[in-house]
Chain A
Amino acid sequence: MSLVYAGILSHAPGITGRANLVDNEEARDEFYASLEKQRLEIEETGAEVLIVIAAEHFANFFMDNMPAYCIGIGDKHSGPIEDSEWLKIEKTKIPGAPELATRLVKSVMHSVDVAYSEEWRCDHGIMVPLNFLTPDYDMPVIPCNINCQGPPLTPLSRVWQFGEALRIACDEQSEKIAIVGTGGISHWPATPDSGKINEEWDRAFLNQLMHQDKQQLLSYVDEEVYAEAGQGGFEIRTLIAAAAAAGGRGDLQFYTAALPIFAVGCTVARFDISP
Chain B
Amino acid sequence: MSLYQVQKFLYNLNRDEQIQNSFTKNKEEVLVDYDLTEEESNALVSGNIGLLYVLGVNGQILMHFAAYLKIEWFDYLQAMRDGIAEHGPVRAGIYAMTGGGKQFAQAPDSSDGEGVGDSSQ
Binding site for B on A (CB under 8 A): 13-14, 18, 20-23, 57-60, 62-64, 81-83, 85-87, 121, 123, 149-151, 188-197, 226, 230-231, 260-261, 263
In the complex, whether B80 has a CB less than 8 A from a CB of chain A is yes
B104-A195 in contact (CB<8A): yes
What 0/1 pattern do residues 65 to 107 of B give for CB contact below 8 A with A?
0011010010001101100100000000011111101111111
Contacting A191 at CB < 8 Å: which of B8, B67, B95? Answer: B95
Per the CB 8 Å criterion, the residue count for chain B at the interface is: 37
Known contacts A21-B121, A192-B77; can you find 11 more A-B pairs with CB under 8 A? A64-B8, A83-B70, A86-B67, A189-B63, A190-B59, A191-B80, A191-B95, A194-B77, A194-B104, A196-B99, A226-B94
A18 to B74, CA, bound (A): 11
A82-B60 in contact (CB<8A): no
B residues in contact with A191, CB < 8 Å: 59, 80, 95-98
B60-A149 in contact (CB<8A): yes
A188 to B68, CA, bound (A): 21
Interface of A is mostly: loop
Contacting B97 at CB < 8 Å: which of A20, A64, A189, A193? Answer: A193
B98-A230 in contact (CB<8A): yes
Query: Can you report 17 residue pairs joining A to B where beta carbons are below 8 Å apart?
Result: A23-B108, A57-B64, A62-B11, A64-B8, A149-B60, A190-B63, A191-B98, A192-B101, A193-B102, A194-B105, A195-B105, A196-B104, A197-B104, A231-B59, A231-B94, A260-B105, A261-B106
In the complex, whether B34 has a CB less than 8 A from a CB of chain A is no
- Contacts A192-B101, A194-B104, A195-B104: A81 and B4 contacting too (C-beta < 8 A)? no
What 0/1 pattern do residues 13 to 48 of B give for CB contact below 8 A with A?
011000000000000000000000000000000000
For the complex formed, measure the closest distance between the CB of B92 and the CB atoms of chain A, giving whole angstroms. Answer: 12
A121-B15 in contact (CB<8A): yes
A251 to B92, CA, bound (A): 39
In the complex, whether B62 has a CB less than 8 A from a CB of chain A is yes
For the complex formed, measure the closest distance between the CB of B36 and the CB atoms of chain A, giving whole angstroms. Answer: 16
B residues in contact with A82, CB < 8 Å: 14, 64, 67
> Which of B59, B99, B102 is the most central at the interface, judged by chain A CB atoms within 10 Å of its CB?
B59
> Which of A13, A192, A194, A231 is the most central at the interface, judged by chain B CB atoms within 10 Å of its CB?
A192
Chain B minimum-CB-distance residue to A85: B70
7 nearest A-B residue pairs (beta carbon): A190-B59, A195-B105, A195-B104, A57-B60, A86-B67, A260-B105, A193-B99
A residues in contact with B78, CB < 8 Å: 192
Chain A minimum-CB-distance residue to B74: A21
- Contacts A57-B64, A64-B8, A231-B94: A23 and B106 contacting too (C-beta < 8 A)? yes
A81-B64 in contact (CB<8A): yes
A252 to B29, CA, bound (A): 52
A151 to B14, CA, bound (A): 20
For the complex formed, measure the closest distance between the CB of B67 and the CB atoms of chain A, giving whole angstroms. Answer: 4
Chain A minimum-CB-distance residue to B16: A81
Chain A minimum-CB-distance residue to B60: A57
- Contacts A63-B4, A191-B96, A194-B77: A21 and B108 contacting too (C-beta < 8 A)? yes
- Contacts A21-B121, A260-B104: A58 and B97 contacting too (C-beta < 8 A)? no
